[in-house]
Amino acid sequence: MAIEIIMPKMGESITEGTIIEWKKAIGDEIKKDETILEISTDKVDSEVPSPASGVLINIIANKNDTVDVGTVIGYIGDSDEKDSFSIEDVESSKQESNVESVNIEQNKVKEVTESILTNKDIKKNSKRFYSPLVRSIAKRESIDNQELELIKGTGRGGRVNKADILGYINQKRTSVDYSIETPKPNVIETPKISDLTSQVQEMDNVRKRISEHMIHSQKTSAHVYSTVEIDMTNLLKVKNEYAEKYYQKHSIKLTVTSLIIDACIKALHDFPLLNTSIDGTNIIYHKNINMGVAVALEDNNLIVPVIKSSEELNLIGICRSLEELSSKARNKQLSLEQVQGSTFTITNPGVFGGLMGIPIINQPNVGILSIGKIQKKPIVKETEFGDSIFIRSMMYATLGYDHRLIDGAYGTKFLSLLSQIIESYNAKVEK
In this predicted structure, what is the pLDDT of residue 77?
85
pLDDT for 368-377, tens place per residue?
999 999 999 9
Please give the Cα distance from 290 to 368 (Å, whole number): 12
CA distances (Å), 91 to each of 86, 98, 273, 399, in order?
A: 9, 10, 56, 56
Looking at every residue in the chain, the average pLDDT score rounds to: 82
The domains of the chain are located at 3-85, 100-169, 223-423
- Identify the residue with better confidence: 90 or 258: 258
Q: 270 or 16, which is more confident?
A: 270
Distances (CA, A) of 211 to 204, 217, 331, 367: 11, 10, 22, 19
User: What gap in Å lies between CA 272 and CA 269, rounded to an integer?
Assistant: 6
Please tell me which residue, 207 or 416, carries the higher pLDDT value.
416
Residue 89 confidence (pLDDT) above 60? no
pLDDT confidence band for 188 (50 / 70 / 90): low
Let me know if domain 223-423 sits in CATH 3.60.20.10. no
- Predicted local confidence at residue 195, as pLDDT: 54
Q: What is the pLDDT of residue 430?
A: 58
Q: CA 36, CA 59: separation in Å to the nearest integer?
A: 11
> Which residue out of 28, 144, 299, 407 is catalytically annotated?
407
Give me the sheet containing 29-30, strands edge to edge. 3-6, 72-77, 54-59, 29-30
**403 in active site:** yes
Among the listed ranges 144-148, 273-277, 324-328, which one has the minimum average pLDDT value? 144-148
> pLDDT value at position 202?
86
pLDDT digits (tens, 9 = 90+) for 96-148: 545 455 455 555 444 444 444 344 444 444 557 777 778 878 888 888 887 88
Its CATH architecture, for the domain 3-85, is Beta Barrel (2.40)
Residue 401: pLDDT band with limits 50, 70, 90: very high
Q: Characterize the bridge pairing of strands 344-347 and 276-279.
A: unpaired
Region 193-216: mean pLDDT is: 79
pLDDT at 95: 52
Q: In the prediction, which pLDDT does 219 show? A: 92
pLDDT in the model for residue 113: 43
CA distance readout (Å), 310 to 265, 303, 307, 342:
7, 18, 6, 10
pLDDT tens across 150-169, in order?
Answer: 888 887 667 788 888 888 88
